[in-house]
Amino acid sequence: MIDLYRVLPEEMDDLVVKLGHPRYRAGQLLHALYHESPRKMSDLHQIPTSLRDALVTAGYTIGSENEVHRVVSEDGHTTKLLLKFDDQTLIETVLMQYSKDKSHPRSTVCVSTQVGCPMGCVFCATGQMGFEKNLKAEEIVSQVLHFARILRQRGEHVTNLVFMGMGEPLANYDEMIRAVRLLTHPRAFGLGQRSITISTVGIIPGIDKLADEDLQIKLAISLHAPNDELRKKLVPTAGPHSVGDLIMAAKRYFKKTGRRVTFEYALIDDINDSTKVASELARVLKGNGAHVNLIPMNPTAGGFHRPARKKVLAFQQILRNGDVNCTVRVEKGVEISAACGQLRTDMIEKIN
């Protein structure tokens, strides 16, 4: 079976014509798929029954994900879902909402690209569960559409998308890019390219390849340390010169795309949050025009902890004093196992 959420609009045109129907039916089908919340093929009332039957006969289907668990933060602004696909795979996706003066809040969906992760970051719940499989483009798209259905019932819509869930997006490059093109295509979901951020722990060939895609998407690089020795302890897959190599890759990305790169830095108590480390980070990043996003880490099973607020602000001030643009990420969903992989790990433990 082939999921219709895998089919690019240009491919949909060819498919509809191949099945003996006018090309304009592809537009009707795409609008129904991405804006009418169908859950199964019989929900596609906007196209002729003959086309629906032809698609089914040809082996096409929709709706591969089912929600098996949902947790909502106390303030109602963060919702985390555990989704199950037809092959029984469990993945997480998160909705984070930020109030605005306007009627619609900023609604950011955080999607997973893999089940588990091969990068092995020692402080990350996903990194510690190992790697199981890459997600297909349609499985990535379905995470966004699942929340789009929920938001549509509230009169709201998805405004932003971040590839910061389970897995390393650039390690599943082709499927990730296909999902991006489906979600940004004006004939499909139609999300603005500049509303998307892809986060990587540092796959440099993937960063360079992404810069050549002619996409106006944002890039975030998880740095976590100002020197190679410390970074290797936190990110076991890091190369011997990863800090310098990543800074150069960020410069190439900016030069090629004109899009400023963000360096993400997870602050871990008594590991990488000292004033000495902050000063070193300021020296390394000074003058490169990048933005640093400090992330007081969510507690995980690895025994790591977030620094006290006073230490976070002191770290930030040192960077700013060193002329490095820096902000502290707004915390979302700490009380609902918001860290990547935590909900899935918790639920599997309960099931077993």
Which residues have a catalytic role annotated?
Answer: 92, 340
Burial 82-95 (b: 16+ CB within 10 A, else e): bbebeeeebbbbbb
For helices 275-285 and 309-321, the axis angle rounded to 10 degrees is 30
| Helix residue ranges, H only, the chain | 9-18, 24-35, 49-57, 137-152, 173-184, 204-211, 228-234, 242-257, 275-285, 309-321, 342-351
24-35 vs 9-18: helix crossing angle, rounded to 10: 130
> How many Cβ atoms from other residues are within 10 Å of residue 111's Cβ?
28
* Alpha carbons 112 and 147: distance in angstroms, whole number: 13
**Nearest in space to 167 (alpha carbons), one of 215, 222, 232:** 222
* Alpha carbons 145 and 4: distance in angstroms, whole number: 13
What residues contact residue 174 under an 8 Å CB cut-off, 6+ apart? none
The answer to whether 70 and 79 have CB atoms below 8 angstroms apart is yes
* Residue type for position 85: F
- Contact between 117 and 126 under an 8 Å Cβ cutoff? The reply is yes
Q: Is 132 exposed, middle or buried (0-12, 13-18, 19+ CB in 10 A)?
A: middle
Half-sphere exposure of residue 277, counting CA atoms within 13 Å on the CB side? 24
For residue 292, give the H/E element and its range: strand 291-296
